[in-house]
Amino acid sequence: MDAVSLIGAFSVLAAGLCMGIGSLGSAIGEGNAAASALQAMAQQPDEASRIRSTLFVTMAMVETTALYALLISFLTFYANPFWNYAIEAASTK
- Please choose, out of 7-15, 25-33, 38-46, 57-65, the segment that lies near other proteins by the rule CB under 8 A: 57-65
- Please choose, out of 9-17, 35-43, 68-76, 80-88, the segment that lies near other proteins by the rule CB under 8 A: 68-76
Q: Which position among 6, 13, 35, 71 is part of the footprint of other proteins (CB under 8 A)?
A: 71
Name the region of 83 (left: φ>0; alpha: ψ -120 to 50; beta: rest).
alpha
Site size with other proteins, rule: CB under 8 A: 15
